[in-house]
């Protein structure tokens, strides 16, 4: 686009120079004609032919005036040829026939003065016989000179108008060129930022894959070891009891089932996070109350009382926020007291942020562990086994929240359990 605008500027300048050629030639011709008319008038008038003619009339014996007058006639005819060509080139509906006739009369009168003087006539008598009315010649000269000046004035005005129009057009095209350059610049900057975002997203995705691989390796290995141990216990028990299962073996089989379900939950959560991380950022307006209610209907048991307070709309990546809320709500459901579980979700609107808190009435989290739970592979019991934790885990939840430009912390809940508070920009 910038190249096209630049070519347009060059084309306009070239066209303007081409359009100026003819007016400029005509102006130069008119200027030459005006100057030539002034010289011609002097050659004809009292500084040239008429002056020498009058002096020869008064002093016929002084032939120098006669010779000078004849030279004036010759020069005037020569100049008339050049002036006539200029008039034709300018397409002026004028000619010099009147002036030419007057010059011819003066040329003939010079020779007649010589003849009359030879006949012995007095100066007054000669004057009466050779007197010439030359006013028509001067009127002809003034007419042509005036036309030449009018052409000069018109062309000067036209040139000024053309110049002003050219300047306006050049400025407009320069403006268009600059706008085009600006558009290209903005496009390049936007494209560069888009590529930077894509590169950052690719790096983030690679980091997520690495973290998920570590989580899967760590969290799946533990239940697999337990399953292997329990299977061996059952095999041993069957061997010792002739193929019959004892009560303890049946309990081991139930533990195997639980550990298998936990592995399945870990794999499903990891795959879900992988799909979410692979998605390009898609920011949209999200009604938080509607989103939270839809998650509760899916992940919370029907009998569980869930209170949702407040609500607001926010521009955010809905898919990533959904992953965060589903994990927090699922954890709250798991850790609520079994006797009388209760869940509270607050959506607090502030000036520039929105706070989302998910609270339960479970055992809560001791203050010294509230930061540690966001660390990969952290365990809160003495055995190092945190069987209640499933899915992608709180470390990945915090990572997603920070990708969304927010922060997550844990505090004590008014219900007596834990309160996970997520702060996001509006």
The secondary element (H helix, E strand) that includes residue 229 is: helix 135-240
**Nearest CA to 279 among 238, 227, 321, 319?**
319
- Give the contacts of 54 (CB within 8 A, at least 6 positions apart): 46
CATH class assigned to 281-426: alpha beta
* Backbone torsions φ then ψ of 353, nearest 5 degrees: -135, 170
Token readout for 207 is: 């980091």
Alpha helices in 59-134 (DSSP H): 63-89, 97-118, 123-130
Query: Is residue 349 within 8 Å of residue 313, measured between CB atoms?
Result: no
How far is residue 243's CA from residue 239's CA, in Å, rounded to a whole number? 6
Q: Who contacts 117 (Cβ-Cβ below 8 Å, separation ≥6)?
A: 60, 126
**Nearest to residue 316, comparing CAs of 398, 401, 404?**
404
What's the pLDDT tens digit per position in 364-422? 888 888 888 887 666 555 433 344 444 457 888 898 999 889 999 999 888 888 999 99
Helix/strand/coil for 284: strand
The pTM for the full model equals 0.48
Residue 147: how many CA atoms within 13 Å on its side-chain side? 19
Number of Cβ within a 10 Å radius of residue 1: 13
The closest alpha carbon to 402, from 338, 322, 330, 320, belongs to 320
Using CA atoms, how far residue 50 sits from 69, 70, 72, 83, 415, in Å, is 8, 11, 9, 20, 127
Give the CA angle between residues 57, 59, 65 to the nearest 5°: 75
What pLDDT is stored for residue 387 in this prediction? 46
Structure tokens at 271: 């795959």
Share of the chain above pLDDT 70, in %: 75
pLDDT for residue 271: 63
Residues 225, 235, 251, CA angle at the centre, nearest 5°?
70
User: Where do the structural domains in the chain lie, given as residue ranges?
Assistant: 2-182, 281-426
Cα dihedral 413, 417, 387, 268 in deg (nearest 10): -40
Rounded-to-integer distance, Cα 79 and Cα 90, Å: 17
Helix (H) or strand (E) holding 300: none
Cα separation, 310 vs 227, whole angstroms:
45
Residue segments in the chain with a per-residue pLDDT below the cut of 70: 1-24, 197-223, 225-226, 230, 237, 242-245, 262, 264-280, 337-339, 376-392
- CA angle 420/255/297 to nearest 5° reads 40
Is residue 397 within 8 A of residue 276, CB to CB? The reply is no
């Amino acid at each position: 686009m910038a190249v096209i605008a630049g070519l347009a500027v060059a084309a306009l300048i070239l066209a303007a120079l081409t359009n100026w050629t003819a007016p400029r030639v005509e102006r130069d011709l008119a200027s030459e004609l005006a100057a030539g008319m002034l010289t011609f008038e002097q050659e004809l008038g009292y500084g040239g032919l008429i002056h020498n003619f009058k002096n020869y009339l008064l002093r016929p014996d002084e032939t120098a005036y006669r010779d000078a007058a004849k030279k004036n006639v010759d020069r005037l005819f020569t100049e008339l040829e050049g002036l006539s060509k200029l008039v034709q080139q300018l397409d002026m509906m004028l000619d010099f026939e009147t002036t030419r006739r007057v010059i011819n009369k003066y040329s003939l009168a010079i020779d007649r003065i010589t003849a009359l003087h030879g006949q012995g006539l007095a100066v007054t008598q000669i004057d009466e016989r050779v007197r010439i009315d030359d006013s028509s010649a001067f009127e002809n000269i003034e007419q042509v000179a005036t036309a030449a000046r009018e052409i000069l004035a018109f062309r000067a005005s036209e040139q000024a108008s053309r110049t002003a129009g050219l300047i306006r057009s050049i400025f407009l095209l320069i403006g268009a060129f600059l706008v085009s350059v600006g558009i290209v610049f903005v496009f390049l900057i936007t494209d560069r930022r888009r590529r930077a975002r894509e590169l950052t997203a690719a790096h983030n995705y690679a980091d997520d894959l690495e973290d998920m691989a570590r989580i899967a390796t760590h969290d799946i290995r533990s239940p697999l070891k337990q399953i292997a141990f329990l299977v061996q216990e059952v095999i041993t028990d069957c061997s010792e009891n002739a193929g019959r299962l004892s009560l303890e073996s049946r309990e081991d089989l139930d533990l195997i089932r639980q550990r298998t379900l936990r592995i399945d939950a870990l794999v499903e959560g990891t795959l879900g996070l992988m799909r979410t991380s692979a998605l390009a950022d898609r920011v949209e307006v999200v009604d938080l109350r509607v989103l939270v209610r839809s998650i509760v209907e899916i992940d919370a048991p029907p009998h569980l009382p869930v209170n949702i307070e407040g609500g607001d709309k926010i521009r955010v990546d809905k898919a990533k926020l959904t992953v965060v809320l589903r994990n927090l709500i699922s954890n709250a459901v798991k850790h609520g007291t079994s006797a009388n579980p209760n869940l509270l979700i607050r959506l607090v609107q502030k000036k520039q942020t929105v706070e989302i808190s998910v609270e339960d009435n479970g055992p809560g989290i001791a203050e010294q562990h509230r930061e540690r739970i966001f660390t990969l592979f952290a365990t809160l019991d003495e055995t190092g086994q945190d069987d209640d934790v499933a899915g992608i885990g709180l470390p990945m939840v915090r990572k997603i929240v920070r990708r969304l430009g927010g922060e997550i912390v844990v505090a004590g809940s008014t219900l007596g359990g834990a309160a996970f508070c997520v702060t996001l920009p509006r």
